[in-house]
Every structure is written in structure tokens, then in C-alpha cells.
Amino acid sequence: MSDASANYLLPRAANHVPLTPLMFLRRSAGVFPHKVAVVHGDWRLTYAELDERARRLASALARCGVRPGDAVAVMAPNVPALLEAHYGVPMAGAVLTAINIRLDAGTVAFILRHS
């Protein structure tokens, strides 16, 4: 392989950018703003709307005193608000502790004490 042909394999800004969940949402909202991202019964949410709602959650958390590195626990069924938390909490720099609603009280208490 010549040096010229091997050069195209090198990571470049145009072809090699880490795609974190937050970057995925931001990119999807920019590229596909009107595409449906969430379906919950009859309710539909586009990528732009999901991004906006997650940003609003991040802003609300910051206004409530949540700081980078803080743990934010969410106990919810599998609903759009939980998905918004999966994006909004990290947008605020915090760590999401998603708690399954089917857990018993003792297990929930254990998770909360250790998060």
C-alpha cells in the first residue's frame, strides 16, 4: 500500500468524530429535526422536540442546584420522560440513576444510598 492510499484511513474531523448519546441527539436534531424520534401510544415527538425537552430539563436541573458530577435519581416507567432524563441529566453534567419501578422499597433505598 502506498503512503497516499494509506493516508485516507487516518482519522479526520470529517470522518472520525466520537458519537456519544448526547452528540447523537444533537446531530439527529440538526439533520432530521422533523423525523419522529419517540412513539408512545398516540403521542409523537420529533428529534428537534426531544432535544429541546432534554435541554429544558438540563436547564431546570441546573437552576435547582444540580451541579456536574451530582447524581440524579429518576424512578419512572418506560415513558418519554425517562428518555428525556437519559439525555437531560447528562446535559446538565450530572449522572443519571434510573431506578426500575418494579423494585421493592429496600432495593430502591439501597440504590439511593449508594448513588
Q: What per-residue confidence (pLDDT) applies to 3?
A: 59
| Residue 98 forms part of a structural domain | yes
Average predicted confidence (pLDDT) for the chain: 92
| Residue 66 forms part of a structural domain | yes
pLDDT digits (tens, 9 = 90+) for 62-108: 999 999 999 999 999 999 999 999 999 999 999 999 999 999 999 99
Task: State the residue range of the domain holding 81.
Answer: 16-113
Q: Which of 37, 86, 33, 80 is nearest to 58 (CA)?
A: 86
Full 3-state SS string of 47-88: HHHHHHHHHHHHHHHHHCCCCCCCEEEEECCCCHHHHHHHHH
Give the mean pLDDT of 11-22.
Answer: 79
| Residue 29 forms part of a structural domain | yes
Give the mean pLDDT of 4-27.
Answer: 78
pLDDT at 4 over 60: no
| Residue 60 forms part of a structural domain | yes
Number of domains the chain contains: 1
Q: What per-residue confidence (pLDDT) applies to 111?
A: 96
